[in-house]
A and B are shown apart, each in its own frame.
Chain A
Amino acid sequence: MTVTRDREVASAPDTVLARILRGPDTRLGVVAVPVVAVLGALVVGGALMAVEGVAPLSAYGEVVLGVFGRTRGLVDTAVIATPLILLALGIAVAYRARVFTIGAEGQYIAGALAGTAWVTVGPPLPGFLLLVSGLAVAVLTGAAWAGITAWMLARFGASVVITSLLLNYVAAAGLAWAVRVGIRDPGSFTPQSRPMGAAALPDIPGTAIHLGFFLALLAVPALAAVLRRTRFGFRVEVLGANPEVLAVNEARPARTRLAVLALAGSFAGLAGFVEVAGVTERMTPAFATGYGFTAIIVALLGRLRPLGVLVAALLLAGLTVGFDEAERVFIIPSATVGVIQALIVVFFVAGEALSRRGRR
């Protein structure tokens, strides 16, 4: 594998990713590698806690109780999973087409920022219209932000990995400026936007689960259907498997790359708006929490499939919520759950590669 200026498309076909796309030979294998990766990471995490002097089994028991032992645990899991599902769905489609964007974080920020600006300092619209137009602005901005990467790839052959990543920092700087000056609530001492008012998403009465969670749940089968049944879905698969086939069959690969990036950006923008409108209901400097990066783990672990993404997002959100609760009972370093999540993806990547080698 050599380094070329167009590195996204220069990898040899039989890589881990090709393997993730194609899936193992058996139905069992589809879930075996991720399950083993998760268990392996939990074992290592348990060993870390044992070194700390915390009994791993009782700690994990507390993690499970933290999620399932109380309504609040399930509610929190759904709330945290919402942006992860939406972000990871977009990433999954892009990665299926071998377009390795790591710009979800920036697209998420850009979409949320534009949507918030529209509903807080934009034209005064009646409630429902305000919400819908705000959503549209966020989705379009997310797509446009990803479009910069697509344009730089098509026009200059610039690496998607690098341009999308650099744009994350630009978006973060934009967020800092917007809440400090641009769309700042003049009546507030701390830098933050005005509340979203009528554009805020309704919650299930008595819980913190907002409409966005159901949007995310709907998006899963919708995207699965698009991937399986439409011409676009077919092109994504062909582009991921062998771009040259797509090139000789009339459809231009560059156009499909633009489409998947725009789609990923749309989902990220949607995720951003839903997160602001559903949770804090105003933009704060603390908005960027790295969900865009966690979503990469979710997409990979979900084997780049919509249903897999749903399961993986709920799993990682549950781990976060459960550990949060366990930390109240045991003295566990707060980075433990991050280490476990990162180990899951490292083990998953290694496991995929090893299972491929074992078969030869």
Chain B
Amino acid sequence: MDTLLTLATLAAAIRLAIPVAVAALGELISERAGVLNLGLEGTMLFGALAGYLATIASGTPWLGLGGGLLAGAACGGVLALLMVVVRADQIVTGLAFTLFAGSATTYLFEQSYTLGQAPPRIPSLSMAPLVVIVLVVLAGVWFLLTRTTAGLVLSAAGEAPEAVDALGYRIPRVRTLATVAGSALAGLAGAMLVCGPLGLFVQNVTAGRGWVALALVVFARWRPGRAVAGALLFGLCDAAQLRLQGTATEIPYEAFLALPYVVTLLALMVRARRSGTPAALAVPFVRGGT
């Protein structure tokens, strides 16, 4: 166990945290505006595939990241159309979209190369620029939410939509923009996963990272800095699991496979308790009538 906290483990932790952090920041934007986007995992998958294909087409992973960003924004457009404009149930819509993305990306991926041939690896970005991107996104989201009028309107749309409406801002427009922006970041996160050290798309490459990001937003209580810190915690667990798979024979490696998810569950408990959630909060409350 003493070999656990080496520089290599730390580097692996940061590498594993990067996509989760960016996706969590994206989800944070839409949730602050009042849209619970359960389509996050699906959007990441589309972003990952778009990043992979755009890198193959252009030859540079930088344009792959751009492709992921655009694909994410497109997903956000579809999701906003369903959840904000048509006002379909947010939970059902998000679930449906993620289910759809799992099959659709597999289908499109199978279409993108000739059967029987191995799908090509793509040139991959090193970690340093990816870390810079995370920091830039973090600073951007923080600045938007705390230092701009747009951010204030956005947050208010999730807190007191009636008041924002009374001020003359269009709630559907604010929420649509927030969903599109947040989804663009989720798409970028997917692309960072594939265009980073992995350099390959595989079926269901996100492996639940979108769901972890969703849990992190709750864990971070909708604060950008804490979301990134939470992602780092997740990355650390994941890195420990990978490292111990090879070395520790006493402990089954599956325990470490489950560890990030268990830690996230525990974090949800601790967070909820510390926030002093009133017991009555689990008692249903229907907001605003119709």
Residues in A lying within 8 Å of B, measured CB to CB: 1-17, 48, 100, 102, 152-159, 161-163, 165-167, 169-170, 173-174, 176-177, 180-181, 239, 242-244, 246-247, 253-254, 293, 296-297, 300, 333-336, 338-339, 341-343, 345-346, 348-350, 352-354, 357
Chain B positions within 8 Å of A243 at CB level: 283-286
Question: Are the C-beta atoms of B265 and A166 separated by less than 8 Å?
Answer: yes
Query: In residues 270-287 of chain B, which contact A (Cβ within 8 Å)?
Result: 272-273, 275, 277, 281-287
Q: Select which of A14, A166, A242, A343 is within 8 A of B100 by beta carbon.
A: A343
Q: Are B290's CB and A100's CB within 8 A?
A: no
Q: How far is the CA of A170 from the CA of B104 in the complex (A)?
A: 26
Q: List 30 A-B contacts (CB under 8 A).
A: A2-B34, A3-B32, A3-B158, A5-B275, A6-B284, A6-B285, A10-B287, A15-B88, A15-B89, A152-B268, A156-B269, A158-B268, A161-B214, A170-B258, A170-B262, A173-B254, A173-B261, A239-B284, A242-B286, A243-B283, A243-B284, A253-B284, A341-B103, A343-B100, A346-B96, A348-B96, A349-B82, A349-B88, A353-B82, A357-B86
The list of the 6 closest CB pairs from A to B, nearest first, reads A243-B284, A338-B103, A173-B258, A177-B254, A156-B272, A9-B284
| CA of A286 to CA of B211, assembled, Å | 23
B60 interfacial by beta-carbon distance below 8 Å: no
Residues from chain B with a CB closer than 8 A to the CB of A353 are 82, 86-89
In the complex, which range does the number of interface residues on chain B fall in?
35 or more
Interface-lining segment among B67-75, B106-114, B120-128, B184-192: B106-114
Could you say which of A8, A155, A177, A342 contacts B99, with CB atoms under 8 Å apart? A342
Instruction: Write the residues of chain B forming the contact surface with A, with a CB cutoff of 8 angstroms.
Output: 31-32, 34-36, 38, 82, 86-93, 95-97, 99-104, 106-107, 110-111, 158-159, 161, 208, 211-212, 214-215, 218, 222, 252, 254-255, 257-258, 261-262, 264-265, 268-269, 272-273, 275, 277, 281-290
**In whole Å, how far is B34's beta carbon from the nearest beta carbon of chain A?**
5
Sample of 11 further A-B pairs with CB below 8 A, known A161-B38, A247-B283, A335-B110: A3-B36, A7-B91, A9-B286, A48-B107, A156-B272, A163-B265, A166-B264, A177-B252, A244-B284, A297-B99, A353-B87
Which residues of the other chain, A, contact B258 by a CB distance below 8 angstroms? Answer: 169-170, 173-174
Report the Cα distance A67→B222, complex, angstroms: 50
Residue of B nearest to A338 (CB): B103
Q: Does the CB pair B277–A5 fall under 8 Å?
A: yes
Q: Which residues of B have CB within 8 Å of A335?
A: 103-104, 106-107, 110
Q: Which residues of B contact A297 (CB under 8 A)?
A: 99
A156 x B103 contact (CB < 8 A): no
Contact for B95 among A7, A154, A296, CB less than 8 A: A296
Residue in B101, B111, B252, B283 whose Cβ sees the most chain A Cβ within 10 Å: B283
Interface centre among A3, A10, A14, A349, by most B CB within 10 Å? Answer: A3
Q: Hey, which chain B residues are within 8 Å of A15, CB to CB? A: 87-90, 92
Q: What separation, in Å, do the CA atoms of A149 and B161 have in the docked complex?
A: 31
Known contacts A3-B31, A176-B254; decide if A352 and B277 are in contact (CB<8 Å): no
| A residues less than 8 Å from B32 (CB atoms) | 3
Chain A residues with CB under 8 A of B36: 1, 3, 7
> Which residues of chain B are near A14, meaning CB under 8 Å?
290
Tell me which of A102, A165, A348 has the highest count of chain B C-beta atoms within 10 A of its own C-beta.
A165
| Docked-complex contact B290 and A13, CB < 8 angstroms | yes
- Docked Cα-Cα span, A320 to B158, in Å, equals 42
